[in-house]
A and B are shown apart, each in its own frame.
Chain A
Amino acid sequence: DTGVSQDPRHKITKRGQNVTFRCDPISEHNRLYWYRQTLGQGPEFLTYFQNEAQLEKSRLLSDRFSAERPKGSFSTLEIQRTEQGDSAMYLCASSPEQGSGFEQFFGPGTRLTVL
């Protein structure tokens, strides 16, 4: 399968712990995105990378959140000192830099539960 992959698929943690999620985009895609989705809502944009450069961050991305894409390939999203309000599905997507419309292709998501 050459689609976007995310790991882990599920994570349960206790409040105050740190968690890290990984996203592997489609190999030839330069752009990588992170979204968060809570129950009953559409995905909300968090941040966007073009190659290794983080070009945009949402105000939703508080100081406890950090994302990296060190070599322009896979990306990690870390949440420090998790809170119950961080419980959500975290989605990663990738898209090519060139093309007719920059459509994004999503991974299966990581479901985070903070107890």
Chain B
Amino acid sequence: GIQVEQSPPDLILQEGANSTLRCNFSDSVNNLQWFHQNPWGQLINLFYIPSGTKQNGRLSATTVATERYSLLYISSSQTTDSGVYFCPAFHHGSGNTGKLIFGQGTTLQVKP
């Protein structure tokens, strides 16, 4: 099946630093999303980004669907950015079904 590789697996930053998280896919995907999982387990929507670039405050994301990767940029990180980041997507060959494929996530810790 399709593989989602997220890098780095773990990241420790000092508050105020910038970072880039990356997702690579082994096959064509559709309708990629970025989520932040908070300490209580809920997945918070960051971006719905099938292609192109979007920005929301200190966060921005870029998906290059033809090259099968996506990037999440976090600028001026804050302690509240800590948590796990996921970039699931739908496999291009799965039709219209709602099966998201997840990677193992990037665990971010922002220190004060």
Q: Do A and B associate with each other?
A: no
Taking beta carbons and an 8 Å cutoff, which residues of A are in contact with B? none
Taking beta carbons and an 8 Å cutoff, which residues of B are in contact with A? none
